[in-house]
Amino acid sequence: MNLVTLRTVREVRNHLAGVRHKGKKIGLVPTMGALHAGHASLIQTARSESDFVVVSIFVNPLQFGPGEDYLRYPRPIEKDLEICSQMGADVVFLPEVAEIYAAEQRVFVDVTRLGDHLCGPFRPGHFRGVATVVAKLFNIVQPQRAWFGEKDFQQLCIIRRMVQDLNFDVEIIPVPTYRDADGLAMSSRNAYLDSDDRAAAPTLYRALTTARAMIENGERKAAVVKDKASRIFAEQLRIRPQYFEIVDPVELQPVDEITSEVRIAGAIWLGKTRLIDNVSAALLKHFRHVTCS
């Protein structure tokens, strides 16, 4: 009912020690704020699956590269707090940068292999920044569970792998991507789009779902699927595609021949705005039978 806003690590630890002492299970929804319906769905899920919900709001400078949108990233704090309150969060952790990076950061969480494709090559240091800040948040909040959106699928996989590889005692729960009626995945960055770019933006999801349909209909060659996606993007002159990849869903390595479940992921530029999205795809069983017989 009463949303508590805490700004320091010490306050969070003190507050949560009391909560933990009562035997409550703590859930964490890490965000960079600029909350939209996708975040609301995450917080709502967390609310229904834990005794006590902490939402962190922190625009993490470490995960932005030089020339990226760290400074212009939207920070509508009042609205964010209202959404947290409406969705039933108990605590919002809203630290200053100097609280999270008190001294010069010397120790980082480093991600190999899972960061080598998709967004990784285009955003050097990004996943190191994400993994490092999430490790910090896990150690500050010490949640039993944490919710991450599937929209940032590579991030989700990396956090899941971090939990496994560093033995964090946290259960990672993926939440399906929340979409507008025309398919566009909810993103805080959608706010950057003018109306023409907003109209073109669902092309990314259309390319992804077209690719999925091809795979479900028996196409096994990644090159053929990717070629179709290229042609979809080429029809929409506003779009500059950055990548469109078909990868295995664990190690995130590109596959040439699609033989089991894959993740299809893409990134596009619309003006100065970069959008990403992804879907899962698998050969349907009857097609596997057909090709084996």
Q: Which active-site residues does the annotation give?
A: 39
7 binds a copy of itself, rule: CB under 8 A: no
146 binds a copy of itself, rule: CB under 8 A: no
Q: Which two tokens stand for residue 221?
A: 């060659």
14 binds a copy of itself, rule: CB under 8 A: no
What are the backbone angles phi and psi of residue 80, rounded to the nearest 5°? -60, -45
Report the residue number, 12 or 53, with the smaller CB distance to a copy of itself.
Answer: 12
Report the residue number, 146 or 162, with the smaller CB distance to a copy of itself.
Answer: 162
Of 122, 118, 40, nearest to 79 (Cα)?
A: 40
CA dist 246 and 215 (Å) reads 11
CB of 155 to a copy of itself, least distance (A): 13
223 binds a copy of itself, rule: CB under 8 A: no
Report the residue number, 112 or 293, with the smaller CB distance to a copy of itself.
Answer: 112
Report the residue number, 86 or 164, with the smaller CB distance to a copy of itself.
Answer: 164
What are the backbone angles phi and psi of residue 112, rounded to the nearest 5°? -105, 160
Among 167, 195, 285, 293, binds a copy of itself (CB under 8 A): 167
- Listed as own residue / partner, the contacts of 211-216 with beta carbons closer than 8 Å and 24 or more positions apart are 211/244, 211/246, 211/264, 211/279, 211/281, 212/264, 212/279, 212/280, 212/281, 215/258, 215/262, 215/264, 215/281, 215/282, 215/283, 216/281, 216/282, 216/283, 216/284, 216/287
Among 32, 35, 83, 140, binds a copy of itself (CB under 8 A): 140
CA dist 147 and 176 (Å) reads 10
169 binds a copy of itself, rule: CB under 8 A: yes
Using an 8 Å Cβ cutoff, are 228 and 291 in contact?
A: no
263 binds a copy of itself, rule: CB under 8 A: no
CA dist 111 and 161 (Å) reads 9
135 binds a copy of itself, rule: CB under 8 A: yes
Please report where in the chains the tokens 């630290």 appear, as a residue.
Answer: 95
Residue type, 251: E
CB of 262 to a copy of itself, least distance (A): 19
DSSP secondary-structure letter at 164? H
166 binds a copy of itself, rule: CB under 8 A: yes
Among 158, 204, 281, 283, binds a copy of itself (CB under 8 A): 158
CB of 78 to a copy of itself, least distance (A): 27
109 binds a copy of itself, rule: CB under 8 A: yes
111 binds a copy of itself, rule: CB under 8 A: yes
Of 16, 49, 37, 24, nearest to 173 (Cα)?
A: 49
Fill in the per-residue mask, 23 to 62: x = in contact with a copy of itself (CB under 8 A), - = not in contact: ----------------------------------------
Report the residue number, 138 or 192, with the smaller CB distance to a copy of itself.
Answer: 138
Strand, coil or helix: what is 262? strand
Q: Which residues bind a copy of itself (CB under 8 A)?
A: 9, 13, 102-103, 105-114, 128, 131-132, 135-136, 139-140, 142, 158, 161-162, 164-169, 251
